[in-house]
Amino acid sequence: MPQIAWRIIIVVIVAVFLTLLVPPVLGLLGITLAGNAYQIIKICLALIAVFYIIWGGPVAFPPLRS
């Protein structure tokens, strides 16, 4: 169960950053997206997130120093 919780936390952080980062980067590159195209990108991001949460590998963190 802790592995799923860590994967959910990772997915939320990455999804928020990608959702906020994709439009400005594409605008900087001179690529304009219609609302429908951006909606498709968000749906694909959600599907990838669900697949990662369900079938993702174990999350390994470095050991803490004491």
Residue scoring higher pLDDT (65 or 27)? 27
* Spatial contact of 44 and 19, defined as CB atoms under 8 Å apart: no
pLDDT at 66: 67
Cβ partners under 8 Å of residue 6, min gap 6: 59
pLDDT at 62 over 80: no
15: tokens are 């999804």
Task: Give me the residue spans of the domains in the chain.
Answer: 2-55
Residues 2-56 pLDDT 10s:
788 889 999 999 999 998 998 899 889 998 888 788 899 889 999 999 999 999 8
pTM, full prediction: 0.76
